[in-house]
């Protein structure tokens, strides 16, 4: 049975293999984000190394690569994944484990790669690519006054109107506690300490529940990153949590009347992983391309097109020297980075280990809470 | 022996009966070869995946094979207090083997499905166990993290002992088998699946009902109008059918959201106040409206194809025999359309019960279905065995409904055209 299933899956994958069998296949989320990767570092790397890099879209999760592996017909080389997926995929043996300082080049001043990146990697299989923020934004036309803090997001008396929040528990519990008065502490350690107890989880759930059942408030749950700015612009909600790059795109790119608030933001990461046994694993092309794409200069390149921060500290210096860095030639990008000093006065780092541990159980509690709204 | 002597022979001396059988067999083989590609296709794309889903949902050999010594040592454990040093020692040696084979990550994923919190403590154990000293493993393991000293985690390991298990099915009903072997419900704040099953049934039922109520008049109109009008109407029915599902779902969002066009219109004509716009999107209503519209053609088409074959003279006959139009409709026309109603309702219900994208986008908190939960476990947690179990439960549910339908209405009465 198993061999037949493998055979069948292999056939179906063989049929779906793209024509360029020798190109390195990089898989990412699509849209403006993939565009920024392709223009920022994909194309320059491909040109410098003389190899072809093919960008393919996916919608996240590890199910596709797991299916490819079970079928024994892997077609992907490099995948752009969430922190939790690097942990789960590394545990499942799907990805290549790196020898970090050997596999990745040092910063221009000679700092080894492991010191140049903002924080340590969550697993041996991950190399950082961008940092993004779960912050919130409001519609300047529909909100009277200026929300400044994460508490204001939950303050329906002062700022009445519906809020849009992410459909899952991820980051919602954290901001609820931050708004409920817990100081995040270094990297959000205090928030996660509280969430490790039943009491802390209930406290966070109650805070969200109060917001969603408040007649002056109410919640809309978003699932796709494009939704929060859309919901704000259409006036469906007055405030929305979301990814800062999307808000930036609407605010600066399209001139929408929205403004971002950075207080209590959750800093989250995006990583590249290399697929073990991918078509360009044995010949070393995939690793070579990956090392080049995550070098100082290359990472800075993507910030030209989108407001996500490069992982390497040394990349920021390149951006500063090149301001205005945004592709329109007049917007300074460094202040738009989630890692900029004025944006990180009160923030937490989304803890992938916590979510890998507790994701399912908290997910169930979250859904049960939502079902009772 | 009269039958033998009377046997009719063909010209070449073979009994006719044998010869006939032979040629019939040839025909049978030919017929079989003709359908063979289709049969093969069905086996590959239908029977086979369902079979592998079934085995995946009950197969739990992986953990059993990963911890052989531990489970042997656990046989004498009563499962109430913390296990003895023996169990800890056995676990330590099993674990060392796994670390050597680099399989401890898989173990952590599997155990984390049973009880959350295993991922990080197994990672920690891997790091610390390198410097373990010989003997007294209980103390050393418990010192790694306080969860290792919590009996619940050992009970969770014990629960994964059998090679085949129905646990995933129980989990799909928000239940589990506790230490003394009783099947009990999980704590109240984690019961999510039962709510979702009921909601899925409810939404599928109402969507079917709404579809029927709307499609019946449309199909009747289609079947009775002159050709030139009915063709135009048919295009109107089919046009949305040819539009992308996502486009239609997004259009409903634009129309029905609180600041959307429908609400704007209501405010403009003064039906509702500007600050009391009704919520029609991101809740159950959103799911009802969008799903009904999307599934409507599946109801219209079978109804239409049945109504088209009903001769208009039957209604005339009914009326000329003294029935009012209503009686004629109810006694003559309606019973004749039942095969179409059956086909349409079954189609719509079965499609609605497994619906996924639309409720995810427009359903909000109160309008999401069990299929969204299945997708969550397929994509995010990678707990495919749980997703398989829920998928099979859904399939069984559909088959059960089909069976009930067959008992009440009869499958022979279904007519698609």
Q: Name every residue whose Cβ is closer than 8 Å to that of residue B254 and which is 6 or more positions away in sequence.
A: A234, B260, B261
Chain B residue numbers with beta carbons less than 8 Å from the beta carbon of A363 are: 376, 381
Residues forming CATH 3.40.190.10 domain(s) in chain A: 2-131+269-343, 134-267+344-371
Task: Kindly indicate the confidence band of residue A329, based on its pLDDT and cuts at 50, 70 and 90.
Answer: confident
* A3 interface with B at CB cutoff 8 Å: no
Same-domain pairing of B103 and B245:
no
Class of domain A134-267+344-371: alpha beta
Q: Which residue has the higher pLDDT, B11 or B225?
A: B225
Same-domain pairing of B151 and B253:
no
Nearest CA in chain A to B369: A371
Domain C-terminal end among B15, B35, B58: B58
Probe site for chain A from B282, B285, B370, B377 (most A CB atoms < 10 A): B282
Residues constituting chain A = 373
Nearest CA in chain B to A216: B275
Chain B residue numbers with beta carbons less than 8 Å from the beta carbon of A364 are: 190, 192
Residue A267 bridge partners (DSSP):
A133, A349
Q: In angstroms, rounded to a whole number, what is the distance separating the alpha carbons of residues B290 and B185?
A: 34
Same-domain pairing of B201 and B265:
yes
- Cβ contacts below 8 Å, chain A against chain B, sum to 111
Same-domain pairing of B140 and B72:
yes
Q: What is the pLDDT of residue B50?
A: 85
Q: In angstroms, rounded to a whole number, what is the distance separating the alpha carbons of residues B207 and B153?
A: 44
Same-domain pairing of B47 and B92:
no
Domain C-terminal end among B160, B185, B211: B160
pLDDT value at A96 more than 90: yes
Of A357, A358, A367, the CB nearest to B192: A367
Of B105, B106, B189, the CB nearest to A365: B189
Same-domain pairing of B35 and B107:
no
Is residue B183 in some structural domain?
A: no
A206 touches A366 (CB < 8 A): no
Average pLDDT of the segment spanning A161-182: 93
Beta-carbon separation of A61 and B196 below 8 A: no
Is residue B70 in some structural domain?
A: yes
A95 touches A296 (CB < 8 A): no
Among A50, A33, A7, residue whose Cα is nearest residue A224: A33
* B78 interface with A at CB cutoff 8 Å: no
- Cα angle at B183 between B177 and B185, to 5 degrees? 95
Q: In angstroms, rounded to a whole number, what is the distance separating the alpha carbons of residues A244 and A32?
A: 13
Distance from CA of A297 to the nearest CA of B (A): 33
Is residue B329 in some structural domain?
A: yes
Specify the CATH number for the domain of residue B372: 1.10.3720.10
Q: What is the pLDDT of residue A271?
A: 95
CB atoms within 10 A of CB A7: 12
Is residue B122 in some structural domain?
A: yes
* A357 interface with B at CB cutoff 8 Å: yes
Q: What is the pLDDT of residue A18?
A: 44
Tokens 């992907």 -> residue: A76
- Cα angle at B150 between B147 and B154, to 5 degrees? 100
Beta-carbon separation of A364 and B192 below 8 A: yes
Average pLDDT of the segment spanning B397-414: 80
Q: In angstroms, rounded to a whole number, what is the distance separating the alpha carbons of residues A206 and A217?
A: 14
Same-domain pairing of B249 and B206:
yes
Same-domain pairing of B45 and B122:
no
ipTM metric: 0.73
Is residue B179 in some structural domain?
A: no
Same-domain pairing of B126 and B215:
no
pLDDT value at B415 more than 80: no
* B381 interface with A at CB cutoff 8 Å: yes
Among B18, B374, B317, residue whose Cα is nearest residue B200: B374
For B139-151, the pLDDT digits (tens) are 999 998 889 999 9
Q: In angstroms, rounded to a whole number, what is the distance separating the alpha carbons of residues B330 and A91?
A: 65
Same-domain pairing of B214 and B355:
yes
CB atoms within 10 A of CB B228: 7
Domain C-terminal end among B43, B58, B73: B58
Q: In angstroms, rounded to a whole number, what is the distance separating the alpha carbons of residues A229 and A164?
A: 10
How many domains does chain B fold into?
Answer: 3
Residues constituting chain B = 417
CATH architecture of the domain with range A2-131+269-343: 3-Layer(aba) Sandwich (3.40)
Q: What is the pLDDT of residue B320?
A: 87
Chain A residue numbers with beta carbons less than 8 Å from the beta carbon of B52 are: 1, 5
Domain of residue B284, residue span: 193-413
Of B190, B191, B378, the CB nearest to A63: B378
Tokens 């003294």 -> residue: B322
Nearest CA in chain A to B117: A357
Same-domain pairing of B35 and B120:
no
A312 touches A301 (CB < 8 A): no
Distance from CA of B277 to the nearest CA of A (A): 11
Same-domain pairing of B391 and B274:
yes
Distance from CA of B394 to the nearest CA of A (A): 19
């Amino acid at each position: 049975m198993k061999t037949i299933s493998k055979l069948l899956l292999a056939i179906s994958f063989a049929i779906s293999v793209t024509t360029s069998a020798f190109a390195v296949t990089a898989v990412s989320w699509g849209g403006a984000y993939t565009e920024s990767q392709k223009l920022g570092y994909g194309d320059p790397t491909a040109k410098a190394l003389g190899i072809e890099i093919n960008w393919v879209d996916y919608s996240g999760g590890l199910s596709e690569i797991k299916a490819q592996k079970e079928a024994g017909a892997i077609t992907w080389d490099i995948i752009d994944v969430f922190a939790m997926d690097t942990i789960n995929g590394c545990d499942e043996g799907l990805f290549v484990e790196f020898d970090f300082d050997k596999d990745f080049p040092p910063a221009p001043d000679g700092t080894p790669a492991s010191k140049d990146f903002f924080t340590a990697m969550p697993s041996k299989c991950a190399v950082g690519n961008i940092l993004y923020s779960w912050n919130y934004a409001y519609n300047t036309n529909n909100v009277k006054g200026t929300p400044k803090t994460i508490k204001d997001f939950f303050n329906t008396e002062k700022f009445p109107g519906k809020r849009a929040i992410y459909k899952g528990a991820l980051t919602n519990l954290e901001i609820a506690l931050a708004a409920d008065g817990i100081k995040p502490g270094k990297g959000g350690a205090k928030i996660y300490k509280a969430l490790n107890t039943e009491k802390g989880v209930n406290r966070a759930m109650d805070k969200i529940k109060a917001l969603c059942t408040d007649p002056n408030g109410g919640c809309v749950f978003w699932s796709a990153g494009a939704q929060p700015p859309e919901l704000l612009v259409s006036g469906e909600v007055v405030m929305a949590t979301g990814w800062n790059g999307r808000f930036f795109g609407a605010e600066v790119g399209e001139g929408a009347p929205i403004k971002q608030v950075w207080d209590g933001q959750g800093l989250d990461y995006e990583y590249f992983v290399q697929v073990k046994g991918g078509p360009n694993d044995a010949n070393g092309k995939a690793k070579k391309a990956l090392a080049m794409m995550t070098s100082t200069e290359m990472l800075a390149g993507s910030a030209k097109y989108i407001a996500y921060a490069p992982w390497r500290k040394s990349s920021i210096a390149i951006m500063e020297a090149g301001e205005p860095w945004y592709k329109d030639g007049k917007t300074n990008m460094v202040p738009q980075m989630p890692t900029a000093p004025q944006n990180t006065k009160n923030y937490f780092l989304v803890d992938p280990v916590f979510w890998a541990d507790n994701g399912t159980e908290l997910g169930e509690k979250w859904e049960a809470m939502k079902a009772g709204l | 022996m009269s039958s033998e002597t009377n046997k009719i022979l063909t010209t070449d001396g073979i009994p006719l009966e044998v010869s006939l059988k032979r040629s019939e067999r040839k025909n049978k083989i030919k017929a079989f070869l003709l359908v063979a590609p289709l049969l093969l296709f069905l086996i590959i794309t239908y029977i086979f995946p369902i079979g592998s889903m079934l085995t995946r949902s009950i197969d739990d050999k992986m953990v059993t094979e990963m911890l052989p010594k531990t489970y042997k040592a656990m046989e004498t454990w009563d499962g109430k207090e913390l296990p003895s040093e023996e169990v800890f020692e056995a676990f330590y040696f099993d674990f060392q083997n796994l670390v050597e084979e680099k399989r401890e990550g898989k173990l952590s994923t599997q155990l984390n499905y049973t009880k959350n919190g295993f991922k990080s403590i197994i990672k920690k154990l891997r790091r610390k166990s390198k410097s373990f000293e010989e003997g007294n493993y209980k103390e050393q393991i418990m010192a790694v993290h306080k969860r290792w000293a919590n009996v619940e985690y050992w009970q969770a390991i014990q629960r994964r002992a059998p090679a085949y298990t129905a646990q995933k099915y129980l989990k799909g009903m928000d239940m589990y088998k506790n230490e003394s072997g009783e099947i009990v419900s999980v704590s109240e704040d984690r019961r999510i699946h039962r709510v979702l099953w009921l909601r899925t049934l409810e939404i599928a039922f109402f969507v079917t009902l709404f579809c029927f109520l709307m499609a019946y008049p449309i199909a009747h109109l289609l079947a009775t109008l002159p050709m030139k009008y009915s063709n135009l109407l048919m295009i109107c029915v089919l046009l949305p059918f040819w539009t992308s599902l996502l486009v239609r779902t997004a259009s409903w969002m634009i129309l029905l959201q609180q600041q959307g066009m429908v609400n704007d219109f209501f405010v403009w004509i003064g039906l509702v106040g500007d600050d009391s716009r009704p919520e029609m999107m991101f809740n159950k209503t959103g799911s009802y409206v969008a799903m009904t519209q999307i599934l409507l053609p599946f109801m219209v088409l079978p109804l239409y194809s049945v109504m088209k074959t009903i001769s208009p003279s039957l209604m005339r006959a009914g009326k000329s025999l003294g029935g009012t139009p209503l009686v004629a409709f109810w006694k003559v026309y309606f019973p004749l359309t039942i095969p179409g109603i059956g086909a349409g309702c079954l189609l719509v219900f079965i499609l609605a019960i497994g619906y996924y994208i639309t409720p995810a986008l427009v359903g909000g908190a109160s309008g999401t279905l069990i299929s969204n939960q299945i997708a969550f476990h397929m994509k995010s947690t990678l707990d495919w065995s749980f997703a398989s179990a829920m998928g099979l439960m859904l399939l069984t549910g559909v088959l059960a409904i089909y069976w009930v339908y067959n008992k009440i209405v009869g499958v022979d009465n279904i007519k698609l055209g």
